[in-house]
Structure 1
Amino acid sequence: MARAHRTLTALVLLGIMVVLLASLGRWQLRRADERRAVLAAIESGRRQPPLLLTAATPSDDLRPWRPVSVQGRWRADMTVRLDNRNQNGRPGYWIATPLMLEEGSNTAVLVLRGWLPRTLPGEPPEAAPALPDGVRTVSGELVRRVPRLFELWNPGGASDDVLPTAWPSRDGPPTVQNLDLDAYARATGLHLLPAVMEQHAPSGDGLVREWPQPSVDYNQNLGYAMQWFAFAGIAGIAFVVVAVRAARGRGP
């Protein structure tokens, strides 16, 4: 009786392992498909001809990863610092500033201008480089939104990021963890294009413009999937061995 109970327990556990390990393999295959899709979107966007952004640019043309250029005037008074953006292991900020697309228009595109290192604790933040007056031409690449960081201290809840109600802020450019386009538009009163531009062309202002890229190494996921399926196969073989031995009356 005890032997039969042990055999049944072993078969149940091995069956659970087969199902669990196989499901992990399928999950890795889905992750590989997701990364393939991201890679395809990046390659497709970068194959598009460069786009000149204007206030009348249709939303359908604002494809992520598409190269773009834009002419306009900077609104330096509406600059925002994005905190906890590391560059090669160094802590720092991204600097985001809207660029007005037409004279007398309220339409703008939010530009991620570059990365600025954080100062030592107790020291005031380093000021963002001054922006030139007049109409400027800026080139870069589109992304759908400002890349977000997961807020460990506030998972799933309302964001602690607060934008000023009056611009320019008396305390200088506000510093936030994440920047939502809709919230930024409401705070500034600007009409923003539904995309964000990562500036690429150097301008000699000292900002670093090495933007992070999504992970697209789907081969890594395929390798993990094969490992999980191999473990599932081993558990399946063990299940068959135990079952055969039990059928022959020898037990595990």
Structure 2
Amino acid sequence: MKRLPIFVTIIVLAAVATMIGLGIWQLQRAEWKNELLATYEAASDQPAISYPSVPVADDLPYFRRSSVNCLEVLAWRAVSGRNANGQSGWAHIAHCKTAGAEGPGAQVVAGWSRSSDDPEWSGDLVDGIIAPDSQHILRLVASEPVAGLQKSQEPSTEDVPNNHMGYAVQWFLFAGIALVIYFLALRGRNSAAAKA
């Protein structure tokens, strides 16, 4: 039997070790995400908190009850969303002024409608649930809609992606496939050498 190709073997083993390491890392991330989701699930049973003016990334109060005093609506954005009955349409998010000219502001999901047109609402005190926001980290989903809108679907932990276990399986499969390809190539190389 011919000697193993040292350079290629080192590269393949390094790649396989990296893929296995990434798979283990994703398993750790899956465990972390499951603990985080359990915390979020428990948040709905906890008392209401003050809406955070500056969210702390390590301790985001997602799914906690809170309230915001929207002093003035500075802008609107409409994003695809569902109402409390699960119908598709538009969730209307108000960018609210909350304190002074340079206050931190807040994003408030005022409600849902079939139209993307901005609702007529100038602001008021809003109670709701804190949810993730792709642009501003946090938003408050109003428990009772305003300005003639319908109630938006309440935030759910089911909307928080948790695909780390799938990624882990992929990395382990990639490592296994790389080893199979390496051994098949080695076998073909040895067969060709034996015929020569």
Q: Normalising TM by the smaller chain, what interval?
A: 0.5 to 0.7
SS of 1:110's equivalent in the other structure is: strand
Q: Which runs of 5+ in 2 are unaligned?
A: none
- Which amino acid counterpart does residue 129 of structure 2 have in structure 1? G
- Which amino acid counterpart does residue 201 of structure 1 have in structure 2? S
1:80 to 2:76 alignment: yes
Partner of 1:221: 167
Change (3 A) 1:222 1:54: closer
Deviation of the 1:102 alpha carbon: 7.3
Higher relative contact order (CA 8 A, sep 6+): 1
Q: Give the Cα separation in 2 of the matches to 1:70 and 1:86.
A: 21
Deviation of the 1:201 alpha carbon: 2.5
Normalised by the length of structure 1, the TM-score is 0.50
1:141 to 2:85 alignment: no
Is contact 2:111–2:151 with CA below 8 Å preserved after alignment? yes
Cα deviation digits, residues 16-37 of structure 1 (max 9, x gap): 4554455344334434433443
- Which amino acid counterpart does residue 216 of structure 1 have in structure 2? N
Q: Give the Cα separation in 1 of the matches to 2:167 and 2:50.
A: 37
Q: Give the Cα separation in 2 of the matches to 1:251 and 1:112.
A: 73
Is contact 2:113–2:149 with CA below 8 Å preserved after alignment? no
Deviation of the 1:130 alpha carbon: 3.1
SS of 1:52's equivalent in the other structure is: coil
Q: Give the Cα separation in 2 of the matches to 1:32 and 1:64.
A: 25
Change (3 A) 1:21 1:214: farther
Is contact 2:75–2:96 with CA below 8 Å preserved after alignment? no
Structure 1, 23-32 or 94-103: larger mean CA deviation? 94-103
Counterpart of 1:67 (choices 64, 67, 73) is 64
Aligned sequence identity (%) = 9
Change (3 A) 1:82 1:38: farther
Number of residue-to-residue matches in the alignment: 185
C-alpha root-mean-square deviation of aligned residues, in Å? 4.7
- Which amino acid counterpart does residue 37 of structure 2 have in structure 1? I
Q: Which runs of 5+ in 1 are unaligned?
A: 119-125, 148-178, 182-194
Change (3 A) 1:8 1:115: farther
SS of 1:139's equivalent in the other structure is: strand
Partner of 1:206: 150
Change (3 A) 1:232 1:58: closer
- Which amino acid counterpart does residue 60 of structure 2 have in structure 1? R
Q: Give the Cα separation in 1 of the matches to 2:68 and 2:140.
A: 14
Within 5 Å, give how 1:3-152 maps onto structure 2: 16-48=11-43, 49-53=46-50, 63-73=60-70, 75-76=72-73, 78-81=74-77, 85=80, 94-99=91-96, 106=103, 108-113=105-110, 126-131=116-121, 135-143=124-132, 146-147=133-134
Structure 1, 107-116 or 41-50: larger mean CA deviation? 107-116
Is contact 1:74–1:97 with CA below 8 Å preserved after alignment? no
